[in-house]
């Protein structure tokens, strides 16, 4: 029997990608597919807590196994901010405003080290499994590139001389924090 697995996201593209990998062992559904139309509150203090809040919501309200992800940027010189507040660092959900605030807060800082992190929570048979993906890099002093989203134009991964936003999407999708966490999840589910 095909097992149903919910990916707690509204992103159709993300769902389709994972569904293809997990087929035919699992039927992957997203929030819309199960008619879950609420904006699940992310009130935790860590990526793991926020991811778990989302997976638990689906399990408790729909009784289905579920996984959810939460990501963000941690900047060493800013005490690992913006972290879980990455999407609304400036107070509003606007990528450019948030990026500009981060650059301003980094003015004069010599330690430019930063990392993108993703944590996935998988609630399967009532047990929570966490998977983490991390990519280390540096914050540039000015933006470069137009691909991607969020802080991509100012994040240069270690071993590269270009930012995430200057990178081909297919290349970013192999090395990114999200890809690394997803790879661990898929290995676990396929095992
Ligand atoms: P989410 O948890 O995947 O929705 O990510 C939360 C926020 O973290 C996003 O709104 C971005 O500001 C930032 N972020 C996460 N992943 C990336 C990335 O791959 N590139 C740039 N910014 C990211």
CA distance 94 to 90: 8
CA distance 105 to 77: 9
Distances (CA, A) of 131 to 47, 58, 146: 11, 18, 29
For ligand 1, pick from 68, 87, 133, 173 the residue to mutate: most ligand atoms within 8 Å of CB.
87
Identify whether 129 is preceded by a cis peptide bond (ω within 30 of 0): no
What per-residue confidence (pLDDT) applies to 170?
A: 87
The confidence band for 128, taking pLDDT boundaries of 50, 70 and 90, is very high
What per-residue confidence (pLDDT) applies to 1?
A: 74
Ligand 1 centroid from CA 178, angstroms: 9
The confidence band for 191, taking pLDDT boundaries of 50, 70 and 90, is confident
Task: State pLDDT tens for residues 176-189.
Answer: 999 999 999 999 99
Arithmetic mean of pLDDT, 77-95: 97
For ligand 1, pick from 121, 151, 167, 176 the residue to mutate: most ligand atoms within 8 Å of CB.
151
CATH of the domain at 153: 3.90.950.10
Helix axes 12-22, 177-190, angle to 10 degrees: 30
Based on the structure, what is the number of domains in the chain? 1
pLDDT at 29 over 90: yes
pLDDT at 4 over 90: yes
The confidence band for 64, taking pLDDT boundaries of 50, 70 and 90, is very high
* Pocket residues: Cβ below 6 A from ligand 1: 70-73, 86-87, 116, 148-152, 164, 176
CA distance 22 to 38: 26
The confidence band for 33, taking pLDDT boundaries of 50, 70 and 90, is very high
By residue range, what is the domain housing residue 49?
3-190
Arithmetic mean of pLDDT, 7-30: 90
pLDDT at 190 over 90: no
The rounded percent of the chain whose pLDDT value lies above 90 is 86
Identify whether 82 is preceded by a cis peptide bond (ω within 30 of 0): yes
The confidence band for 116, taking pLDDT boundaries of 50, 70 and 90, is very high
What per-residue confidence (pLDDT) applies to 18?
A: 87
- Mean pLDDT (the chain) is 95
């Amino acid at each position: 029997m095909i097992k149903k697995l919910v990916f707690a996201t509204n992103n159709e593209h993300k769902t389709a990608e994972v569904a293809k990998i997990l087929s035919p062992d699992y039927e992957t559904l997203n929030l819309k597919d199960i008619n879950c139309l609420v904006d699940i509150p992310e009130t935790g203090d860590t990526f793991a807590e926020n991811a778990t809040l989302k997976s638990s919501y689906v399990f408790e309200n729909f009784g289905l196994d579920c996984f959810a992800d939460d990501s963000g940027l941690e900047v060493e010189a800013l005490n690992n901010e913006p972290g879980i507040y990455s999407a609304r660092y400036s107070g509003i959900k606007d990528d450019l405003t948030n990026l500009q605030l981060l650059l301003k807060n980094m003015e004069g800082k010599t330690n430019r080290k930063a990392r993108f992190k993703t944590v996935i929570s998988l609630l399967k048979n009532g047990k929570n499994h966490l998977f983490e993906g991390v990519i280390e890099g540096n914050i540039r002093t000015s933006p470069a590139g137009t691909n991607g989203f969020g802080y991509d134009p100012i994040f240069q991964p270690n071993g590269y001389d270009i930012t995430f936003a200057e990178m081909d999407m297919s290349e970013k999708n192999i090395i990114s924090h999200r890809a690394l966490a997803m790879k661990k999840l898929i290995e676990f589910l396929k095992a």
